[in-house]
Chain A
Amino acid sequence: MNKLLNKSLKSFTIYALVVLAASVPAYYYLVDSIWLRELDEHNEIVADRTENELNQLALTETELIQSIVLWNKIQPGTNLQKNNLDKNRKDSTYTVLRKNPYVAHEDIDRFRGLSRVIEINGETYLLTVETNVEETEETVVAIAILTFFFFLILVVGFLILNRRLSVKLWQPFKNTLTRLKAFNLNSQTSITFENSNILEFQELNEALNKLIEHTISVYKTQKEFTENASHELQTPLAIIKNKLDILLQKEDLTDRQYQIIEDINKALTRVSRINKNLLLLAKIENHQFDESETINLSKLTEECLEQLQEHFLNKELRVNISIERECVVTGNGVLIEVLINNLLLNSIRHNLQKGIVEVKLNQSGLIICNSGKAPLEKEQLFKRFKKTSDENSGSGLGLSIVEQIYKRHQWTIDYDFQQETHTFKINF
């Protein structure tokens, strides 16, 4: 994942690169045109002076010719030639590339030239003045190097600024994020965000506060609803149950009627069971259990197994038990007993006739295995009222309760199906 600031840094860097790259030709044209203008000016001054000086010398014709020959020989960059051009011909400027004969290696120089018709002693001469000017590529390279240097300074600056800003600017955001991450809806405690003097963060915090408060209140209402609804159901359920008990005592009852009452009774037991389990779930979620007791798990597990002894026998299950002495955990005794019982009951209910149940307990975890035909869907396993097998006598809440309990105790659970055996492992 990209960091937000890195993303803007990338754009800034690309933009700076484009602008600076575009500035290279711009600078070049600017520098070059200033150069040329200055050189034109310089050439004109040289031409003016040459014309003036030569006229003031008032040389004779022979002297003048000799002088011009000499001039042309020793004065670099200028040339004077007798010519019959019109005196009023306009000056012309030009740029020319020429080999430099005075250096060993091959070198081509650029010259800016001015050719002008001047008049000396009434005769017209063509004067050309040429001055060396920096070559295009040299200028471009120099500017490009300088620009690149500035570009580097910019990028390094961006990086340093970025690092500093990301720490400072985003601090409030990071604080908010840390608190959000630590938020647990189950604990139902609201978060207080630090005040920020940055408008955006302040708005974010306010919006989050509102959202969290709303969520907590909805969650609370829902939890209370479950608990209250379950409570309210207990009394009518009790009435039905009791009326059935009374009906059962009627002396003119037929076998068929008895059977109907018994069927109603069984269904009623299931409703009560679901109701009880919903209530238990709500209570666990509402933190109504103290989880700081010290529990002797070895003893507790043995007691649970003892209580279920007849059910093991009933289904002719072979039970392999390996319980380490004195396994102690911290938690809630009632809840842990429910957890063990639910897992054990499942190992009986979802077992095959004459199957195997294995219970292993040591300091690191509790393993309960039982024979089975097909693996269960892991994702659906702990969901409420999700039937993972065709067996439908359960309340559909047993494993949801198991889940709530192991989560409450900060334990984990693994489920596995191998060699026709379901394995649940609780890791303390």
Chain B
Amino acid sequence: MKILIIEDENELADSISEYLSEENYLCEFARTYNQALEKIESFHYDCILLDIMLPDGNGMNILEELKRQDKQDGVIIISAKNALDDKIKGLQIGADDYLTKPFHLSELAARIYSVIRRKQFGNSNTVRQNELEIDLLAKAISVHNLPVILTKKEFDLLLYFIGNRNRVISKSTLAEHLSGDFADMLDNHDFVYAHIKNLKKKLSEAGCESYLKTVYGTGYKWEG
């Protein structure tokens, strides 16, 4: 899988690349607007991470350029701006997702995962891990071909883990992910534990192997 990181901040680009490369992603960089234009013209990427504030141009124009060239690359906008206008405009022009800085790499990985799945597996978007089958489109799972009913939050969590296989994800990161844009204001993260507990219970009751491991006391890791 090829990822293009269009980001002028080297440290950030390097971290993203380091995190993603362990997941069989091949990362390329573009530090400027012009470099980015060159890259998207010559190559195809599975996903493009686009910082819309570049030193020599507006990232929005790159989106427009992609659309003009009729490219099907998935695009996730990464912005320091949490401006709703930009978000809506970006999604309208053809971005697949929008992420506001600062974000967790696990969050980014999960988003990249679902963008790529959506783009490439269109109608039969199913992930399989041994006895566990996840239908991303229908948002349903089955174990040993028997459906298991998950709540919205539990399904969301499961997908997050699948997008971050073999990575340690801390409880606070999960709390941020689950509570969205605003509710991270609550410092009590016990609700994360409740969701995880339920998810684990449902999976094991259905006969699924315990892929979800607890590490360091309050961290989690999906093995597979």
Contact = CB atoms under 8 A, between A and B. Distances in A.
Interface in B174-210: 176, 180, 182-188, 190-191, 194-195
B43 to A, nearest CB: 25
A252 to B, nearest CB: 12
A241 B104 contact: yes
B172 A269 contact: yes
A348 B188 CA distance: 11
Contacts of A395: 185
A239 interface: yes
B103 A238 contact: yes
Contacts of A279: 82
Chain B interface secondary structure, helix, strand, loop or mixed? Answer: mixed
Nearest to B53: A231
Contact of B217 (A258, A307, A313): A258
Contacts of A393: 185-187
Given A255-B217, A288-B83, A341-B182, A248 B15 contact: no
Nearest to A266: B172
Contact of A311 (B19, B102, B183, B218): B183
A345 B183 contact: yes
A242 B15 contact: yes
A239 to B, nearest CB: 5
Contacts of B173: 245, 265
A262 B84 CA distance: 30
A314 B191 contact: yes
B78 to A, nearest CB: 8
B16 A258 contact: no
Contacts of B194: 310, 314
B64 interface: no
B219 A248 contact: yes
B80 interface: yes
Interface string A247-266: 01100010100110110011
A190 B131 CA distance: 69
A425 interface: no
Contact of A235 (B9, B169, B171): B9
B170 A248 contact: yes
B105 A265 contact: no
Given A235-B80, A348-B186, A249 B19 contact: yes
Contacts of B16: 242
Contact of A345 (B186, B215, B217): B186
Interface string A349-365: 10000000000000000
Contact of A258 (B80, B84, B188, B219): B219
A258 B173 CA distance: 13
Interface residues of B, number: 46
B18 A246 contact: yes
Nearest to B8: A235
Given A239-B12, A242-B12, A262 B182 contact: no
B169 to A, nearest CB: 8
B87 to A, nearest CB: 10
A341 B181 CA distance: 11
Contacts of A253: 168, 216
Interface string B28-57: 000000000000000000000000000000
Contacts of B2: none
B185 A248 contact: no
Interface core residue of A235, A280, A308, A342 (most chain B CB under 10 Å):
A235
A273 B182 CA distance: 9
Interface string B63-91: 00000000000000000111110000000
Nearest to B106: A245
A394 B186 CA distance: 8
Contact of A246 (B105, B182, B186, B216): B105
Contact of B11 (A239, A245, A288, A314): A239
Contacts of A283: 83
A366 interface: no
A238 B101 contact: yes
A126 interface: no
Contacts of B101: 234-235, 237-238
Contacts of A139: none
B105 A234 contact: no
A258 B216 contact: yes
A272 interface: yes
B167 interface: yes
A223 interface: no
Nearest to A253: B216
Contacts of B180: 307
A276 B103 contact: no
A398 interface: yes
A263 to B, nearest CB: 9
B218 A262 contact: yes
A234 B80 contact: yes
Given A238-B102, A258-B170, 13 more contacts: A231-B81, A237-B101, A238-B12, A238-B103, A246-B15, A259-B217, A265-B172, A273-B185, A276-B82, A307-B183, A311-B191, A314-B190, A393-B185
20 contacts: A234-B100, A237-B101, A238-B80, A238-B101, A238-B103, A239-B9, A239-B11, A240-B102, A245-B105, A248-B169, A248-B219, A249-B22, A249-B167, A249-B168, A259-B216, A272-B102, A314-B188, A314-B194, A342-B185, A349-B185
